[in-house]
Structure 1
Amino acid sequence: MLKYVNTGVVFQEIPDEVTLAINISNCPCRCPGCHSHYLWDDIGIPLTTEALDDFVERFGTDITCFAFMGGDADPKGVNRLAQYIHETYPEYKVAWYSGRLRVAPEVRKSDFDYIKIGPYIRHLGPLKSPTTNQRLYRKTENGEFEDITHRFWRKVAL
């Protein structure tokens, strides 16, 4: 069962979106240098469709996107929740931040608008570093996914 520890409305996780980031616990990735060690433990509140309904009621017009931050211990569960959001609340985008190298084959990528993959590797840096191994993909209008990681990199003024 997926559990979440906390949430936050954020502006930097998904470009051009006001995102409700949902921090999911029981992370099996345990990346060295992880800034969220507390999410390694199996703690928190069950992340259910009722919890998502509550988030919509609480944050409704303030957000444009839901982001599942983790959930690699139960990718099918994350997929079910993404599908629920799209079917019940089609006005919202859905994103998933996964620490895995690839999306699990049992996951329907079409249920997501954004997918970030890749473990955090300290010497390569996070998404904002041009040397990062992590990638953020956005679903295009034709259903393909394009790499938009470059949107996190600052442009240097000349």
Structure 2
Amino acid sequence: MSEHGQNYLRYCSEAVVWQEVPGETTLAFTITGCQVGCKGCHSVDSWPAGSGVELTPSYLQQRLEQYRGLLTCVLFMGGEWQPQALLQLLEFARSAGLKTCLYTGLETIPLAIRQRLDYLKTGPWIAARGGLSSETTNQRFVDLRSGELLNVRFLN
């Protein structure tokens, strides 16, 4: 919790990416405090709650201004475990005219979050089945605007 009593998401990495959301130039944040704990996770540094840096709306605004005209989407890799903090950031990104995406290891998320997303990746990492680039994956990447399953866009 910040000094102002506001709960913020915290992140351990931030990057501009092109592959995580097909067809979009995306500012991606790996949120800390993940409670799913998939065996074989490539982001175990995202597990410890309270680790990382606060992702405040003012910081997000600063980054969006820095990349104005270059980004088309903001991706949160996790954060659904703090729905109010995530909703605030999703609203902020949408008000800036950007699309939004959430990567979650869960199968379902609250409707309030889903309604503020353009894209959603669901499903835990199961090493034997592979990720989105595997034809046997259990994970699903959906364009929520059309309902289209976009997994095929990740195949090699």
Aligned to 2:86: 78
Q: Distance in 1 between the 2:84 and 2:132 partners?
A: 25
- Which ranges of 4 or more aligned residues in structure 1 deviate by more than 6 Å? none
Question: Equivalents in 2 of 1:49, 1:12: separation in Å?
Answer: 25
Give 1:116's aligned residue: 121
Q: TM-score, normalised by structure 2?
A: 0.88
**Residues 80 and 109, structure 2, Cα contact 8 Å, conserved in 1:** no
Structure 1 residue runs of 5 or longer lacking an equivalent are none
CA drift of 1:108 comes to 3.8
SS in 1 for 2:67: helix
Question: What TM-score, normalized by structure 1, do the two folds share?
Answer: 0.87
Partner of residue 25, structure 1: 32
1:100 aligns with 2:138: no
Matches of 1:129 and 1:45, distance apart in 2: 32
* Runs (5+) with no aligned partner, structure 2: 1-7
In structure 2, what is the equivalent of residue 54 of structure 1?
62
Would you say the 8 A contact 2:31–2:78 is kept in 1? yes
Give the Å deviation of 1:44. 1.4
Question: Match of 1:62, SS?
Answer: coil
Q: CA RMSD in A?
A: 1.4
Q: Find the partner of 1:132 among 130, 134, 137.
A: 137
Once residues 95 and 153 of structure 1 are traced to their aligned partners in structure 2, the CA distance between those partners, rounded to angstroms, is 19
Q: Percent identity?
A: 35
Residue 18 of structure 1 and its aligned partner are, at CA, apart by 0.8
Q: Give the whole-Å Cα distance in 1 for the aligned partners of 2:93 and 2:48.
A: 26
